[in-house]
A and B are shown apart, each in its own frame.
Chain A
């Protein structure tokens, strides 16, 4: 087990993040909405400024120096990401706009080629809308069926029900590694093994996992993995689709134009090779380059130490929150990461969130783009505190004080 970050190390880390120094309503900001987006370290902010200041240029086209520098940096970043998730080759790394874009790409391209009438796609009942709607859209187009793995009252997937769903009609499975509303870490290795036994590929939504735990695509043997840059200390608007080379080669391009083309005539277009086949148009060059620096930052600290530190913080937070009378946790899975979802008695989550905000504490409230999950629990939403390694136990204590004050007003 890796050692947790010391309080001195966290203090130094916090000084890397300018936004964490901010005050709101004359109070020190306590930022606990990391599942929505993370804050950015100076390394990332500086890299973004350096790109636009020093070598802003389009990639893969120009013969001039700036274009070569931008192209080099863009491809270096792809290599860093490939190494970070242990991909076999950087051809397996496709830059996307984010998690949602990656899922749409796979749902559309895979669906067009491999889904037929009567086929099925399996997702889980704890997916966020981005891993529901693209599959609904392609299933509707192809007259295929969307099957849903249910979860139990603790928020753990019903693996017995999953096995029942796994029949010969299933062509692909798409599940989240970690639930953004319940915090559940899903048994994705088991899902992949069982799916592969029937030659069914699996897409993992790693949007809530990539920043919290080591992730090796080769060990997992996942066929597709998607994640977003902004949830891992990088910029918004950039994300990654990892796909096994053999699968990416089989899929048709998602969009046409730009780098995805080798040659075009009015009679026929020859598509480019991987990874460019899936990167149509001018990509988010700065975002892609800077995401590489976000990976550098994570590596500097070590993802293993981040994981250990956050686990310690989560345990502290769970124990502290349990002392609040009338608190109701939504999602109590044994294996969990990143977030704690709860309700304060019968108080509406918006009320709790707003009273926390006025005390300088930023949490998320609402359905977290998981309306089906909220429907299952018959609630309008939850209050969600979500953590990163730069959060401290003092901040958890401030959350508890804030909740106690909110409870006095609301309950």
Chain B
């Protein structure tokens, strides 16, 4: 599935839900399905700055595709990471760098999240793109 297709799938699922409590329930459910980061990678270097709750994110390169695992001590944050990981994990660094991530806006998350969560989400996206840039420069 391409990054665009993954985004569209998430947008469709969220559009189906009218009530924001149901949307949050889905976000939290997605968090439960998030590939868990191994304990050894839950170290300060992998903590994302900008999140008031703690978020650990680990990136791994397998056959020139980037795979992400993560965890958070807050369920909503974990769900948000899961959304981002679902869209971007398993793609090449180049695809990630060039991706236009619009699903956060399209499902209304940006405007409904508290500013701290919203900033945290932006930090996650930035961190993943930074990983991709770093891996991409190694590939060259």
A and B: real partners?
Answer: yes
**A-B pairs with beta carbons under 8 A, tally:** 45
B52 within 8 Å of A by Cβ? yes
Q: Give the contacts of B52-66 with A (CB-CB under 8 A).
A: 52-54
The verdict on B131 contacting chain A, using a C-beta distance below 8 Å, is no
Cβ-based interface call for B86 (8 A): no
Quick check: is B28 within 8 A (CB to CB) of the other chain?
A: yes
**Docked-complex contact A351 and B20, CB < 8 angstroms:** no
Asked if B17 is at the interface (CB within 8 A of a chain A CB), the reply is no
Is B77 part of the contact surface with A, judged by Cβ < 8 Å? yes
Tell me whether B75 and A359 are in contact (CB under 8 A): no
* Cβ A355 vs Cβ B52 within 8 A: no
Interface size class for chain B? 10 to 19
Instruction: Assess whether A357 is interfacial by the CB under 8 Å rule.
Output: yes
Q: How far is the CB of A190 from chain B (nearest CB, A)?
A: 37
B80 vs chain A, min Cβ distance (A): 11
Is A405 interfacial (CB 8 A cutoff)?
A: yes
Q: A357-B114, A380-B73, A410-B75 are in contact. Are A350 and B53 (CB under 8 A)?
A: yes
Do the beta carbons of B117 and A354 come within 8 Å of each other? Answer: yes
Which chain A residues border B112 with CB–CB below 8 Å? 358
CB–CB B75/A351 < 8 A? yes
Assess whether B21 is in contact with A348, with CB atoms less than 8 Å apart.
no
Please judge, given known A-B contacts A25-B20, A348-B75, A366-B52, whether A354 and B25 are in contact too, CB under 8 Å: no
Chain B residues whose C-beta falls within 8 Å of the C-beta of A405 in the assembled complex: 21
B74/A351 in contact, CB under 8 A: yes
Are the C-beta atoms of A358 and B77 separated by less than 8 Å? no
* CB–CB A348/B74 < 8 A: yes
Residue pair B52, A351 in contact (C-beta under 8 Å): no
Closest residue of A by beta carbon distance from B75: A351
Q: Which of B24, B54, B73, B116 contacts A409 (CB 8 A)?
A: B24
Contact with B along A350-364 (1 / 0, CB 8 A): 110011011100000
- Residues of the B chain whose Cβ atoms lie less than 8 Å from the Cβ of A354: 24, 76, 114, 117
- What distance in Å separates the Cβ of A340 from its nearest Cβ neighbour in chain B? 21
Contacting residues of chain B (69-92) with chain A, CB-CB under 8 angstroms: 73-77
Quick check: A410 and B21 within 8 Å, CB to CB? no
Residues of A within 8 A of B52 (CB): 350, 366
Q: A350-B53, A354-B114, A358-B20 are in contact. Are A410 and B28 (CB under 8 A)?
A: yes
- Chain A: minimal CB distance from B138 (Å): 35
| Contact status B74-A409, CB under 8 Å | no
Which B residues lie within 8 Å of A348 (CB)?
Answer: 53, 73-77
Contact string, A330-367, partner B, CB cutoff 8 A, digits 1/0?
Answer: 00000000000000000110110011011100000010
Listed residue (B28, B76, B112, B117) with the most chain A CB atoms within 10 angstroms of its CB:
B76
In the assembly, what is the distance between CA of A355 and CA of B74, in Å? 12
Separation of A358 and B25 alpha carbons in the complex (Å): 12
Residue of A nearest to B25 (CB): A409
Q: In the complex, what distance in Å separates the CA atom of A59 from the CA atom of B76?
A: 51
Complex contact A358–B21 (CB within 8 A): yes
Residues from chain B with a CB closer than 8 A to the CB of A357 are: 114
Cβ of A343 to closest chain B Cβ, rounded Å? 12
8 Å CB interface, A255-284 against B: none
Asked whether A355 lies within 8 Å of B21 as measured between CB atoms, the reply is yes
Known: A354-B117, A366-B52. A359 touches B74 (CB 8 A): no
- By beta carbon, the residue of chain A nearest B74 is A348
- A409–B27 Cα gap in the complex (Å)? 10
Task: Decide: B53 and A409 in contact? CB cutoff 8 A.
Answer: no
Q: Which residues of chain A come closer than 8 Å to B21, judged between CB atoms?
A: 355, 358-359, 405, 409
* Closest Cβ neighbor of A349 among chain B residues: B74
Taking CB atoms, residues of chain B closer than 8 Å to A350 are 52-53, 74, 76-77, 114, 116-117
Least Cβ distance of B117 to chain A in Å?
Answer: 7
Contact B76 A351 (CB under 8 A): yes
- Measured between alpha carbons, how far is A380 from B74 in the docked complex, in Å? 10
Q: In the complex, what residue of chain B is closest to A409 when comparing beta carbons?
A: B25
**Of all chain A residues, which has the CB nearest B52?**
A350
- Distance, CA A366 to CA B53, complexed state (A): 9
Residues of chain B within 8 A (CB-CB) of A25 are 20
Q: Which chain B residue lies CB-closest to A353?
A: B114
Determine the distance from Cα of A405 to Cα of B21 in the docked complex, in whole angstroms: 9
Distance to closest chain A CB from B137 (angstroms): 35
Residues of A with C-beta under 8 A to B114: 350, 354, 357
Q: How far is the CA of A410 from the CA of B75 in the complex (A)?
A: 7
Further pairs besides A350-B74, A355-B76, A380-B53: 17, Cβ < 8 Å:
A25-B20, A348-B73, A348-B75, A350-B53, A350-B77, A350-B114, A351-B74, A351-B75, A351-B76, A354-B76, A355-B21, A358-B20, A359-B21, A380-B73, A409-B21, A409-B24, A409-B25
Shortest Cβ-Cβ A-B pairs, 5 listed = A348-B74, A358-B20, A351-B76, A409-B25, A351-B75
Q: Residues of A with Cβ closer than 8 Å to B?
A: 25, 347-348, 350-351, 354-355, 357-359, 366, 380, 405, 409-410
13 example contacts (A-B, Cβ-Cβ < 8 A) are as follows A25-B20, A348-B53, A348-B76, A348-B77, A350-B52, A350-B116, A355-B76, A357-B114, A380-B53, A380-B73, A405-B21, A409-B21, A410-B28
